[in-house]
């Protein structure tokens, strides 16, 4: 049971990342450059943190 929940969580995360990238690409196309860069930095940092916490969580 727990394994399927973990797998679902991973798929959800992947879908969320894919959606976020799609939104990011559309936003970058319609936003001024500096705003797109700032948003990209924040987004990349957030994804890196999520990945880090996910990996640390996995080790427990």
pLDDT tens digits, one per residue of 28-55: 677 677 777 777 778 888 888 888 888 8
Long-range contacts of 23-28 (CB under 8 A, 24+ apart): none
Per-chain mean pLDDT for the chain? 77
Residue 58, pLDDT score: 74
Residue 1, pLDDT score: 63
Asked whether the whole model's pTM tops 0.85, one would answer no
| φ, ψ of residue 32 in degrees (nearest 5) | -60, 150
Residue 21, pLDDT score: 79
More confidently predicted of 52 and 59: 52
Residue 26, pLDDT score: 74
**Residues near 46 by Cβ (< 8 Å), separated by ≥ 6?**
none
Residue 13: closest CA among 60, 58, 59: 58
In this structure, are residues 28 and 51 in contact, taking their beta carbons and an 8 Å threshold?
no
């Amino acid at each position: 049971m727990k394994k399927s929940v973990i797998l679902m969580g991973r798929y959800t995360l992947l879908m969320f990342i894919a959606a976020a990238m799609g939104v990011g690409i559309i936003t970058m196309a319609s936003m001024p450059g500096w705003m797109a860069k700032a948003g990209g930095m924040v987004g990349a940092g957030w994804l890196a943190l999520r990945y880090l916490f996910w990996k640390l969580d996995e080790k427990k």
